[in-house]
Structure formats: structure tokens, C-alpha cells
Amino acid sequence: MEFDEFSAMNTVVQVAAEGNPIDLQLGFAQVRQFIAECEGQFSRFLPSSELTQLNQSAGRWFQASPEMFEIIQEALDLYILTDGLFDPSIMNSLIQAGYDQSMDKLRRMASVPIIPGFAYKRIPLEEILLDAERHAIHLPVGMQIDLGGIAKGWVAAKAANLLSRYTHATTVSVGGDMVFVGVPASQTTWRVSLEDPRDEQCMLAVLHVGAGSLATSTITRRRWMQGNQPRHHIIDPRTGAPAEINWLSISVYTEKATYAEAFAKALLIAGPTGAAGLATRLPNLNFIAVRQDGSLVGTPASKELIYVPGDKQ
């Protein structure tokens, strides 16, 4: 198994693949280049990115790239599927909460100032107009999009697809979004350590997963102080404020990376009372949530994801 690890999109990218090392080095280089290009396209922190230009065009039609159009279209589908709990139009709320610069910069600051005079007014995502023939997008006035997680899932899937030209078994992880193609030759599944959100040096379980996507969302990594208030990046679109989260993290396993990512956020916001019902919206979705005390809870079938030592898997 060959590995590559680097920083991009304000997070850690992990790539693993099985096959000819020389071929794989070529594949890894292509993945690095592809992800760098995607960062230039989907980052809200880069003034020249396509996303920044899209946000600046609110109120008029914007000629988008096919990639941007595809992601926005999926975001709209997921917004409906999650009853609006996944909503990429929470960028103004993120800025209000102090997340107006990259996490690397934010982590270096002791505290960010409180921005006074912000009144949250939710604009329904359905008000985005799409012209599929021209790949044009029309954001309503006042709407700003943050593609954060969904872009990472999308990028991980495309990168894994890119690498699959060189290997029968590969995985790409962009931040919390992992995509698995095939399985290693000597095994029937991939084994993945489930990190303890309270201490990244500790593992809570070993998961074994086949081809598909595993997305993990947590409130313990992207945290900062605003004034004397602790903040995190999971915004509840219903209130426009950082969500009141009961679980520390959630890992969602399903076929498609963008769906796993969006549902991870939505289920984390839905919490213990709403998550089980919401999870039934997507066939073949399973999740494992980490409670405050580090214990695990999930959909009944998610037990099958836990690797039990001594199994033949």
C-alpha cells in the first residue's frame, strides 16, 4: 500500500492506493494538482476563486463552470432531502460567528471580535435559479454560499476516480470526507480508525468498510473563541447560530461522498431526537455518533461497520 499525505483546502488530505509504486506516484502527483486546482475554485477565502465570484454575483446570472454547477445542483437536492438542515447558504452566519478567515489563521488567534447588529434572515435555498443549458446560476440578493464540506466530498470522490486509473484499490480522504474504491487485494474491506473527537491521539473503534464513502463531522476540530464565547462551524440554518450539538461527532457511511458529507452535518444538527428518522431518508445510510462520554451509538446496521478483532473480515 502506498500513502501520500499533504495539506490542502485548509485540511489534511490522505491518499492510499495499492499497485505499482511508480504508477501510483504519477497518480498521487495528479491528485495533488487536481486538489490544488479545486481549492482555487471552491475556496471562499480566495478573492479570485470561482466561489467568491459567484457570491459577488448575487442578484444576477453567473456563468459557472460545469464543476461548480454540479456541486450547487447537488447542494439543492441535499437541502430538500435533509429538510433544509443541510444548507450551504449559511456563509453570512459563519462570518457573524467569526469564521471569516481560514481555520489556520483563526486557530492562531486567542479570540475574534463580536460583530454587532447582525439580524439573521434565512433566504430559502430554493430561490437559487439554475439554467442547466448555460450552466448559469442566479443567487438571490443577500445570499452567500459556503461550499466547505460538500466541496471536500466532491473533490475526494473525483480524486479517487482519478486514481482508479492506476489502481484497483484506492482511498482518498479530504478532511473528514473519505472515498473508497475497490478493496485491498489481501482483504475484503478497508480498515479505518475512528478517531476520538476528544483526543485525536485516541481511537474509539476500527471500522471496516467496502467501496463507498465515509464522512465524519465534528464540533471539536473547528473551534474558536468569539469574545468569551466558544464557537464551532456547524451552523443551524434554522437559527443562523452555531448549533446546539449533543453529540461530539458523527460518521456517515453511504455510497456517495457528497451525500455522506451533507447527512453528517444534518444528522449532527438533528441530534439524538431527529437523527434516526432523518437517516431513513437515504437508503443504505448508516451512521455512528460519538456521545459526550465517548460511547458510541448508531443505526442498528452500523454495528456491522465495527471491526471485531478475530473476525475474518
Partner 1 sequence: MQKITKSIIHVWVSLASMAAFMFGWAIFAHTEKPAPLIVQQPPSMQLEVPSLEPIPSIDELVQSSSQSMQIFQKPASSLPRLRARGS
Q: State yes or no: residue 82 binds partner 1 (CB under 8 A).
A: no
Give 48's contacts (C-beta < 8 A, 6+ positions apart).
40
Q: State yes or no: residue 297 binds partner 1 (CB under 8 A).
A: yes
Least spacing, CB of residue 39 vs partner 1, in Å: 14
Least spacing, CB of residue 103 vs partner 1, in Å: 9
Rule CB under 8 A: which of 134-193 touch partner 1?
Answer: 149, 152, 171, 173, 175-178, 190-193
Give 205's contacts (C-beta < 8 A, 6+ positions apart).
193, 194, 288, 296, 306, 307
User: Which parts of the chain are beta strand (E)?
Assistant: 2-8, 11-18, 61-63, 129-131, 136-138, 169-174, 177-181, 190-196, 199-209, 212-218, 223-226, 229-232, 235-236, 241-242, 249-254, 286-290, 296-298
Applying CB under 8 A, which of residues 136, 205, 225, 241 lies at the interface with partner 1?
A: 205
Spell out a b/e string for 36-55, using b for 16 or more CB atoms within 10 Å of the CB, else e: eebbebbbbeeeebbbbebb
Least spacing, CB of residue 223 vs partner 1, in Å: 11
Q: Are strands 249-254 and 11-18 parallel, antiparallel or unpaired?
A: unpaired
At position 121, the amino acid (one-letter code) is K
Q: Which is nearer to partner 1, 137 or 149 (CB)?
A: 149
Q: State yes or no: residue 43 binds partner 1 (CB under 8 A).
A: no
Rule CB under 8 A: which of 209-268 touch partner 1?
Answer: 214, 216-218, 220-222, 249, 251
Q: State yes or no: residue 24 binds partner 1 (CB under 8 A).
A: no
Q: State yes or no: residue 283 binds partner 1 (CB under 8 A).
A: no
Applying CB under 8 A, which of residues 81, 136, 211, 276 lies at the interface with partner 1?
A: 276
Least spacing, CB of residue 259 vs partner 1, in Å: 16
Residue 219: exposure state from Cβ atoms within 10 A (0-12, 13-18, ≥19): buried
Residues near partner 1, by CB under 8 A: 3, 11-12, 14, 16, 149, 152, 171, 173, 175-178, 190-195, 197, 200-201, 203-207, 214, 216-218, 220-222, 249, 251, 272, 275-277, 279-280, 288-289, 294-300, 302-303, 306, 308-310
